[in-house]
Amino acid sequence: MADPAGPADLRAVEAAFRQQAEACADQGPSPLYALLMERAADDVAAGGPVARLLGDWRGHPVLDALSMRLLGAVHAEVLAGRAPELARHYRAAGEGGGVDAAVWPAFRGLVEERADVLRPRLDRQVQTNEVRRSAALLGGFLEVARSTGLPLRVLEIGSSAGLNLVWDRYAYRLGPHRWGDPSSGVRIESDWEGPPAAFDAPLEVASREGCDLSPIDLEDAEARLRLESFIWPDHPERLALMRAAIAEVRREPPTIRRARARDWLAEALAEPAPGRATVLFQSVMWWYLPESERSAVSGIVEAAGARASAAAPLAWLRKEGTRVESTDVELRRWPGGENRKLAESHWHGRWVRWLGDGRIAGMGSRPATWPRGPLA
Ligand SMILES: C[S@@+](CC[C@H](N)C(=O)[O-])C[C@H]1O[C@@H](n2cnc3c(N)ncnc32)[C@H](O)[C@@H]1O
């Protein structure tokens, strides 16, 4: 572990970049970022411009996703049109043209030239909002709608920009299944294995609301660019999907409170909501909570579950992971408190393996080491 009071150990930084290079090669995958991460690790070892840029950075290189902070900071320059040479390489990689080794000198040169612009960006957490995760969550919402027959009161913790909070306004192509408004500007395509989810269940979303420790204001062009900067440049379809979802959310934005999950939920779940099925959902946010907040959130939800009834049921839908390969989609329901694993799904929702009915014990706790998957 790095000493939180001092700069990160450069050997740990180098190892973190190599680890992320492997993850980018396996998961996603992103040959472009696999190469850049590997070269950046070499540069750190050789004391080059990346080492100089990161020399005084404080934090944990793996847990704080330093490599993704750096690559995101550089990508923001590309997206802003301030790095034309690098943009050419990124575009070619995104168009399937392969990765030209000359991308590294262009990257290195930018790090050297723009250290003053890049360095402050490294102090902010990586923050993403991955739209295709809705493909894996959809079946959970439909299952609650089907089993309760009630309109849904949708609550999300860790909403980021709220792109998954409007999941019902998107059109889905999930293997052979179709769901949603075919005229939606947001078209989510994922591979689907296993039986269908309750795609024909009648659905009404009565209300929706979310919270985030630092919600992204989509009316702020800089904030939008920052959100886009964390998408890997050789995944242009993810960027296009995100932009479509941003446009949809801006058309009719949901309310997202700036609050810790624990504090917001204490209020949001204080009273049962009769005539509604309350669905609290979350995706890829549990990692970010300290153990104390996880326990507090679990306690608040359990207590609300104990107050739930058939007229005011509660469900907790989670897409979270403790493995490199994939996340689990779990659904816990009250009254009763039964917990089911509904699916496994790619971290970014590229595929969903729908299980239907398998039962599991509960959510795993944070493992000692951070998985190497594309967590953000
Ligand atoms: C990796 S992003 C995932 C965002 C979104 N759920 C998704 O799946 O795309 C994690 C989000 O959790 C938020 N977050 C972290 N700690 C939090 C907390 N204690 N309470 C609420 N949100 C938090 C972060 O600000 C970030 O927006």
What residues line ligand 1, using a CB cutoff of 6 Å? 127-130, 133, 157-158, 160, 164, 211-214, 260-261, 283-285, 288-289, 293, 376
Q: Whose CA is nearest to atom 15 of ligand 1?
A: 288
Q: What are phi and psi of 329, to 5 degrees?
A: -110, 120
Query: CB within 8 A of 229, min separation 6: which ones?
Result: 72, 73, 75, 76, 79
Cα 109 to ligand 1 centroid, rounded to whole Å: 33
Confidence of residue 5 (pLDDT cuts 50, 70, 90): low
Q: Is the pLDDT of residue 363 over 60?
A: no
pLDDT of residue 294: 96
pLDDT of residue 179: 98
Q: In this prediction, what percent of the chain has a pLDDT beyond 90? A: 85
Query: CB within 8 A of 10, min separation 6: which ones?
Result: 44, 45, 51, 54, 55
d(CA 21, CA 3): 24
Query: Averaged over 139-162, what is the pLDDT?
Result: 98
Query: Averaged over 189-218, what is the pLDDT?
Result: 97
Q: Whose CA is nearest to atom 27 of ligand 1?
A: 160
More confident residue, 103 or 25: 103
Q: What's the token pair of residue 133? A: 């995760």
Q: Is the pLDDT of residue 370 over 60?
A: no
Ligand 1 pocket test, candidate residues 124, 249, 284, 285, most atoms within 8 A of CB: 285
Please write the tens of the pLDDT for every residue from 256-269.
999 999 999 999 99
Confidence of residue 25 (pLDDT cuts 50, 70, 90): confident
Q: What does pTM read for this prediction? A: 0.90
